[in-house]
């Protein structure tokens, strides 16, 4: 085996700085152990003895020994260099592993932070959703309350009194009531119910359409009262002999009662629609405003014809809506009905009579 494969110094068990004499001594001691004659049962004894001789001869040759020493030094330098390389590589590997562990830890921490942030975001969203729902419910509740209050307020406000709400339409037979041919006679007829506006009473006496030359058989009239309560009492007493209206039909000029009466009935200040006179209880007078003397006398006397409230909204200005608490019986006057309306009412009653005929 060549010296390149085996280290002669190691075969002879000597050092690099050993002298020739130390090499010879070591050779003699070593050869006695590996000689084939001393190891007859070892098949490698001859090979080992041959390698030992070659190493001995090489070390005793100065030139070959110098070459061997140089080669060993180079190999040792390479080994040291590789050792340093291994150390650096190990350090680099350790650094890479440390960085990888740090990266994994950073990534894990980031994932945990993102998960926590996501949970916090969901919690805030849920809280915001609940707050929105609560706000929405509160807003809807307030809106419903406002609508209810507005509706209640709207229901509380009385409708506006129209100019013809205190006017009644009267129809009668002249054979039964031949004296009812003038405005004054009609005013006297309805005087027990209340004051009428005599100047604006419209009377129409009609003959049969088929015989216009014959005397009139029936009469119709528009009788405006100065108070809607008096008009209501007259309408309730239509056809009643005890009220002097036997055979006399009294109704509202428009065919239906004014809106203000429906409002009063809804508020409980008026009897049911179509109710009679004597069987309806008188509505209690509100405490905040006393009745005028005329109203007190009618309310306490025997000339009470209906269950109409003892007080009523004040319509001092026709365009203003009445207020519930501004009830005043005497303020409901029809003095604002001017003489110019007389012609219009006459035309209206004539048209209705023509339609009925």
Euclidean distance between the first and final Cα of the chain, in Å?
155
Q: What is the mean pLDDT of residues 244-264?
A: 84
Higher per-residue pLDDT: 284 or 171: 171
pLDDT for res 92: 84
- Residue 220 in contact with residue 353, Cβ under 8 Å? yes
**What are the CA-CA distances from residue 229 to residues 102, 167, 265 (Å)?**
97, 11, 13
Dihedral angle over CA of 167, 171, 174, 178, nearest 10:
-30
- Residue 285 in contact with residue 310, Cβ under 8 Å? yes
Task: Give 23-48 as a DSSP string.
Answer: HHHHHHHHHHHH-TTT-TT-TTHHHH
**Minimal CA–CA distance to 304: which of 272, 265, 278?**
278
pLDDT for res 176: 86
3-state class (DSSP) for residue 219: strand
Say yes or no to pLDDT of 160 above 50.
yes
| Cα-to-chain-centroid distance, residue 162 | 41
The pair of structure tokens assigned to 218 is: 């029936």
Q: What is the mean pLDDT of residues 177-186?
A: 87
- Residue 312 in contact with residue 228, Cβ under 8 Å? yes
pLDDT digits (tens, 9 = 90+) for 187-205: 889 999 989 988 888 888 8
Q: CA-to-CA distance for 91 and 252, rounded, in angstroms? A: 114
Give the CATH fold of the 8-60 domain.
Answer: Helix Hairpins (1.10.287)
Q: What is the mean pLDDT of residues 94-101?
A: 89
- Do strands 202-206 and 218-224 pair parallel, antiparallel, or not at all (unpaired)? antiparallel
Say yes or no to pLDDT of 344 above 70.
yes
- Tell me the sheet residues that pair with 51: none
Q: Which letter, b or e, does each residue of 309-329 get, where b requires 16 or more Cβ atoms within 10 Å of its Cβ?
A: bbbbbbbeeeeeebeeebbbb
Q: CA-to-CA distance for 155 and 84, rounded, in angstroms? A: 103
pTM exceeds cut of 0.85: no
pLDDT digits (tens, 9 = 90+) for 275-322: 443 333 333 333 333 334 443 333 333 343 444 554 454 443 344 334
Task: In the chain, list all ranges with CATH 1.10.287.110.
Answer: 8-60
Other C-beta atoms within 10 Å of 192: how many? 17
- Do strands 167-173 and 248-252 pair parallel, antiparallel, or not at all (unpaired)? antiparallel
- Do strands 248-252 and 202-206 pair parallel, antiparallel, or not at all (unpaired)? unpaired
**What are the CA-CA distances from residue 356 to residues 177, 216, 223, 250, 307 (Å)?**
21, 16, 20, 16, 32
3-state class (DSSP) for residue 317: coil
pLDDT for res 53: 92
Other C-beta atoms within 10 Å of 51: how many? 19
């Amino acid at each position: 085996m060549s010296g390149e494969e085996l280290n002669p110094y190691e075969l002879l068990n000597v050092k690099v700085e050993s002298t020739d004499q130390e090499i010879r001594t070591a050779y003699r001691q070593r050869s006695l152990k590996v000689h084939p004659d001393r190891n007859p049962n070892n098949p490698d004894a001859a090979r080992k003895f041959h390698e030992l001789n070659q190493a001995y001869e090489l070390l005793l040759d100065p030139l070959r020994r110098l070459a061997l020493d140089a080669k060993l030094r180079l190999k040792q330098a390479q080994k040291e260099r590789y050792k340093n390389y291994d150390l650096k590589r190990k350090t680099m590997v350790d650094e890479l592993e440390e960085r990888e562990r740090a990266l994994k830890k950073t990534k894990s921490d980031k994932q945990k932070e993102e998960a926590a942030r996501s949970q916090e975001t969901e919690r805030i969203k849920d809280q915001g959703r609940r707050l929105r729902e609560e706000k929405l419910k509160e807003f809807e509740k307030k809106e419903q309350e406002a609508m209810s209050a507005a509706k209640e307020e709207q229901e509380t406000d009385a409708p506006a009194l129209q100019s013809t709400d205190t006017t009644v339409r009267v129809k009668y037979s002249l054979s039964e009531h031949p004296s009812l041919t003038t405005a004054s006679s009609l005013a006297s007829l309805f005087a027990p119910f209340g004051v009428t506006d005599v100047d604006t009473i419209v009377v129409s006496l009609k003959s049969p359409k088929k015989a216009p030359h014959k005397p009139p058989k029936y009469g119709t009239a528009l009788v405006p009262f100065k108070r809607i309560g008096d008009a209501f009492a007259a309408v309730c007493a239509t056809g009643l002999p005890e009220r002097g209206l036997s055979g006399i039909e009294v109704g509202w000029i428009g065919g239906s009662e004014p809106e203000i009466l429906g409002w009063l009935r809804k508020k409980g200040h008026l009897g049911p629609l179509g109710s009679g006179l004597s069987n309806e209880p008188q509505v209690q007078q509100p405490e905040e405003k006393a009745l005028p003397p005329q109203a007190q006398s009618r309310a306490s006397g025997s000339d009470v014809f209906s269950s109409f409230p003892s007080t009523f909204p004040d319509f001092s200005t026709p365009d203003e809506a009445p207020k519930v608490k501004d009830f005043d019986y005497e303020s409901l006057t029809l003095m604002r009905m001017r003489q110019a309306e007389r012609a219009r009412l006459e035309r209206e009653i004539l048209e209705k009579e023509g339609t009925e005929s």
